[in-house]
Amino acid sequence: MFPLTEENKHVAQLLLNTGTCPRCIFRFCGVDFHAPYKLPYKELLNELQKFLETEKDELILEVMNPPPKKIRLQELEDSIDNLSQNGEGRISVSHVGSTASKNSNLNVCNVCLGILQEFCEKDFIKKVCQKVEASGFEFTSLVFSVSFPPQLSVREHAAWLLVKQEMGELIFMLFRKQSLSLGRDDIVQLKEAYKWITHPLFSEELGVPIDGKSLFEVSVVFAHPETVEDCHFLAAICPDCFKPAKNKQSVFTRMAVMKALNKIKEEDFLKQFPCPPNSPKAVCAVLEIECAHGAVFVAGRYNKYSRNLPQTPWIIDGERKLESSVEELISDHLLAVFKAESFNFSSSGREDVDVRTLGNGRPFAIELVNPHRVHFTSQEIKELQQKINNSSNKIQVRDLQLVTREAIGHMKEGEEEKTKTYSALIWTNKAIQKKDIEFLNDIKDLKIDQKTPLRVLHRRPLAVRARVIHFMETQYVDEHHFRLHLKTQAGTYIKEFVHGDFGRTKPNIGSLMNVTADILELDVESVDVDWPPALDD
Amino acid sequence: ILHSLVQTGICVITLAESHPVLQSGKTIKSISYQISTNCSRLQNKVSGKFKRGAQFLTELAPLCKIYCSDGEEYTVSSCVRGRLMEVNENILHKPSILQEKPSTEGYIAVVLPKFEESKSITEGLLTQK
């Protein structure tokens, strides 16, 4: 059923005459249910023209253009009174000498520039879907985002002013009194109508629902180069709305334009911009059709068995100093299987190149950016873990699992708050006996002050860090060697605690024992973070 | 003066074994980082990762003055161009550390040279008075 009624005839005629398409006409008449918009364009055009040609038996007020307001009001009020007496509640106003409904040069809509003409119909949607399918993403839902050129807001504003003006302020207010719609807020937004039409078409074509929370995004950007300058006059009148920001190419963003349109006075606007808006020669151009999938996160714990492996690639001046890295040995496999663009590796702290990580391993999380494949069963993840473990004996991975972005917070918390235990092989210059190291076992919660170690001073701020050595346990090896097991606060530099770092870590093993001590080997025995959840293997 | 260059380019300035102050019989009365009326190395304050605020040192820039009990006075100069990170306050409080452990706990200063790639170790000259 055609959604427009007699009230809308005048506005509809006016808009059609000035070059506005049927769907935009619906919008300006406040048609807020989806069905009419979904009908094919040609059909809508026909129906609209039929609707406008019909005349009905009703009271038509002929108003001079423009008539003195007082008379108008009086006439109207009289007729309204008459009508209500007759039990009818409808008024139609038409101008003297209104032109017969033109079949118009309704090539390109002067308000939507083609968006609600060809760009919301099946053929175009099919074209977009072809690109989506060709992109090779795996998805079970999608969110559709569309971007229109900012000048559409300007044209919308002009069209609204046109309607408002032609209706006359007073009649306008009367209509509102009679709740016969057509306030600014009753106009259906372009983007909303566009989505009403296109969402079901996308769903049907791609076989998945539209979900605002979906990680898979299809985005279409429209531009209209022909009318790019439509917005420029706003900058002269409201300069403070248009501040250049670093990342934006143009100062005329949708937000800025909307802001200016809200500010600008009607008279000023009408001086600068044609009302009704002119008919453009061409429709909008599609600037881009892009697909992207939000990042997915994989977590686990790694063991490091090599004393010659950095955590991240060690490259100086473009030259790789050491082969491979913990990060690459784990992530390369994930990158391939998830078909992701890139990754971000993070872990709950890290160890030096020459330090092993034993025990349960160190928690890590990898963000896979723009993955093309995202659905994996837990069996598949287990197999992926096995694959990583088979590919290298330098590292091993456990508890590999998909996690949410929020979970990363747990891991980083661990870095700063949780304790770690270590095992160190220590050399002393002076000969020692078993009894010389026993006292260390009795020291609990030893407070130490560490200046930023010299070996990291080039890339860390100079500061003093207070740290705690919770407990220590010694194992005598020989006159110049012993093993030290220790549990420390997060962020403690163990090597410096042993050798003292030129006396910049105090106290240190050397100062406690009154010897010169150095560290020969260090292993991480445990990272006391209970995340990610352990999986049964 | 001996410089030890850590692989990263950080320089630790220490006294060479042959320095008079380290010879037997010498007693250090005091050490001062006040090298001129307007400049004290103790006032050196660096902040942030890029160590802003560091005093700039040329090769001849004095780091500290060592006063011995026999009246001799020695000036230790940087011998390295770069930015001063820190001076060793431990030797202020306990000058004997300078003699007992000259190449570790008794270091004079830490300097970050301009060109961190430099891998050369240079033997500096000793300066007296």
Distance CA A192, CA A189 (A): 5
Cβ atoms of A147 and A220 closer than 8 Å: yes
Query: Can you state the angle between helices A169-177 and A151-167, rounded to 10 degrees?
Result: 90
pLDDT, position A69: 44
pTM for the predicted model, two decimal places? 0.79
Position with higher pLDDT, B47 vs A7: B47
CA nearest to B28, candidates B64, B76, B70 = B70
**Alpha-carbon distance A360 to A533, whole Å?**
12
* DSSP 8-state secondary structure symbol assigned to residue B34: B
Does any CB of chain A come closer than 8 Å to the CB of residue B74? no
CA angle A115, A262, A149 (to 5 degrees): 25
Residue B2's pLDDT is 52
CB contact under 8 A, B8 and A458: yes
Most confident of the ranges A54-58, A205-209, B71-75, B123-127 = A205-209
Asked if A256 and A263 count as a contact pair (C-beta separation under 8 A), the reply is no
How many CB pairs below 8 A link A and B? Answer: 48
Predicted local confidence at residue A171, as pLDDT:
59
Q: How confident is the model at residue B11 (pLDDT cuts 50, 70, 90)?
A: confident
d(CA B36, CA A168): 86
In terms of Cα–Cα distance, which of B103, B123, B66 is closest to A503? B103
Please tell me the distance in Å from B72's CA to the nearest CA on chain A.
27
To test the contact with chain B by mutation, choose from A464, A502, A514 the residue with the greatest count of B C-beta atoms within 10 A, namely A502
CB-CB contact of A341 with A369 (8 Å): yes
Token digits of residue A442: 């009795």
- Residue by residue, DSSP assigns A428-444 as ESS---HHHHHHHHH-E
> For position B18, what pLDDT does the model report?
86
Residue predicted with more confidence, A446 or B59: A446
Asked whether the predicted pLDDT for residue B119 surpasses 50, the reply is no
Confidence at residue A356, expressed as pLDDT on a 0 to 100 scale: 97
Asked whether A474 and A425 are in contact (CB, 8 A), the reply is no
pLDDT score for A8? 83
Catalytic residues of A, which ones? 352
User: Does any CB of chain A come closer than 8 Å to the CB of residue B54?
Assistant: no
Q: Would you identify the CATH topology of the domain B2-113?
A: OB fold (Dihydrolipoamide Acetyltransferase, E2P) (2.40.50)
CB-closest option in B9, B46, B116 to A462: B46
Judge whether A111 and A277 are in contact, CB under 8 Å.
Answer: yes
Q: What angle do CA A460, A465, A466 make, to 5 degrees?
A: 165
pLDDT of residue A357: 97
State the Rg of chain B over Cα.
14
Query: What pLDDT, on the 0 to 100 scale, is given for residue A475?
Result: 97
The strand pair at A517-527 and A355-369 is best described as parallel
Q: For residue B6, what pLDDT band results from cuts at 50, 70 and 90?
A: low
Residues in chain B closer than 8 A to A498 (CB atoms): none
Q: A462 to chain B nearest CA, in Å?
A: 7
Cα(A171)–Cα(B84) distance, rounded to whole angstroms? 81
pLDDT tens per residue, chain A (537 residues)? 788 888 788 888 889 999 999 999 999 988 999 999 999 999 999 999 888 887 654 434 433 344 444 444 445 455 445 444 443 333 334 433 334 344 444 589 999 999 999 999 999 999 999 999 999 999 999 999 999 999 999 999 999 888 887 766 555 565 555 544 456 778 899 999 999 999 999 999 999 999 999 999 999 999 999 888 888 888 888 888 787 776 767 788 888 888 888 888 888 888 888 888 889 999 999 999 999 999 999 999 999 999 999 999 988 888 888 989 999 999 999 999 999 999 999 999 999 999 999 999 999 999 999 999 999 999 999 999 999 999 999 999 999 999 999 878 878 876 788 899 999 999 999 999 999 999 999 999 999 999 999 988 888 899 999 999 999 999 999 999 999 999 999 999 999 999 999 999 999 999 999 999 999 999 999 999 989 999 986
The full length of chain B comes to 129
Strand partners, A142: A210
DSSP 8-state symbol, A312: S
**Residue in B7, B49, B97 nearest the CB of A461:** B49
Q: Cβ of B47 and A461 within 8 Å?
A: yes
Cα distance from A500 to chain B (closest Cα, Å)? 8
A462: chain B residues, CB-CB within 8 Å: 46-47, 51, 85-86
Q: What interface predicted TM-score (ipTM) does this complex get? A: 0.84
Whether the CB-CB separation of B31 and B102 falls below 8 Å is answered with no
Report the residue of B47, B55, B85 to disrupt the A interface, i.e. the one with the largest count of A CBs within 10 Å.
B85
Q: Which of residues 442-481 of A touch B (CB under 8 A)?
A: 451, 454-462
Question: Domain coordinates of chain B in residue numbers?
Answer: 2-113
